[in-house]
Amino acid sequence: MSMKNKSLFVTGTNTGIGKTVICGCLARYLSRKGINVGIQKWVSTGNRNSSDDIDYCLSMLGREKEEIDNPLLLHPYTFDFPASPHLAAELEGQQVSIDKIVESYHTLVRRHDLLIVEGVGGVLVPLTGDRLLIDLVANLAIPVLIVTDSGLGTINHTLLTIEALTKRDIPILGMVFNFAGKEDKIIEEDNRKIISRIGKRPSFGSLSKVDSMEALIDEFEPIGKNILKALNSA
């Protein structure tokens, strides 16, 4: 199926914000709509020779690694130490090669209708001592989906993320609010409104803290629908 956008970069306002959960749900949703979806995580830390994030997405897709793409293309860099890529690489006497990531990105973009790339932490995370993740996203001109928290503190984090992306002319598709329903409803509803208004980007919906795969897939349905529409019209 032909898509208007060939790739999507899923970033978060922080680590542990739900990027992997959203990537997995989105990959599954789009794949069931007949779209040939690829997945990629440029740098996975806290992992040896594999990526828990990629494994999660594969399980959501019901696919095995080798069935979809070579593991070295799915996760070009994996490091043991759970830290920022620049540090995790350094501790293993290595350095992330931006060229290698760019090459694996283009390979997977060519193979799929849509490649979903999961970010690493937030947008200003360093890949090397002098290159930030956001520099690479800007060079590749990938549209971005921001996964952010629903509750208190999210206005500042989300608007800062939007500002950093906008400053580099990176297209922002919109936001997904995660962990909804855990705080005051008044705050959560207003967060979505005020961030969309000031950030000038749409919210694709919010996902509550779920305790089963069925609930997750169910709740993601309307969010997936909104993202698919945006992917084909942006």
Ligand X SMILES: Nc1ncnc2c1ncn2[C@@H]1O[C@H](COP(=O)(O)OP(=O)(O)OP(=O)(O)O)[C@@H](O)[C@H]1O
Distance in Å, CB of 4 to ligand X, minimum: 26
Tell me the two tokens of residue 161. 């993320």
Asked if 26 interacts with ligand X (CB under 6 A), we say no
What does the DSSP assignment read for the chain?
A: ---S-SEEEEEESSTTSSHHHHHHHHHHHHHHTT--EEEEESEEES-SSS-HHHHHHHHHHT--HHHHS-HHHH-SEEESS-S-HHHHHHTTT----HHHHHHHHHHHHHHSSEEEEE-SSSTT-BSSSS-BHHHHHHHHT--EEEEEESSTTHHHHHHHHHHHHHHTT--EEEEEEEEETSS-HHHHHHHHHHHHHHHT--EEEEEE--SSHHHHHHHHHHHHHHHHHHHHH-
- Is residue 18 a contact residue for ligand X (CB under 6 A)? yes
Q: Which of 3, 8, 17, 61 binds ligand X (CB under 6 A)?
A: 17
Catalytic residue among 6, 19, 33, 41: 41
Under the binding rule (CB under 5 A), the answer on residue 19 touching Mg ion is yes
* Annotation says 41 is catalytic: yes
- Applying CB under 6 A, does 209 fall inside the site for ligand X? yes
- Rounded to a whole number of angstroms, the minimum distance from the CB of residue 76 to ligand X is 15
Binding mask 111-150 for ligand X (x = CB under 6 A): ----------x-----------------------------
Q: Is 34 left (phi over 0), alpha (psi -120 to 50) or beta?
A: left
- According to the binding rule CB under 6 A, does residue 15 interact with ligand X? yes
Cβ 26 to Mg ion, closest distance in Å?
Answer: 13
Site string for Mg ion, 45-84 (x = CB under 5 A): --------x-------------------------------
Which residues are identified as catalytic?
41
| Residues in touch with ligand X (CB under 6 A) | 12, 15-21, 53, 121, 178-179, 207, 209-210
| Residues in touch with Mg ion (CB under 5 A) | 19-20, 53
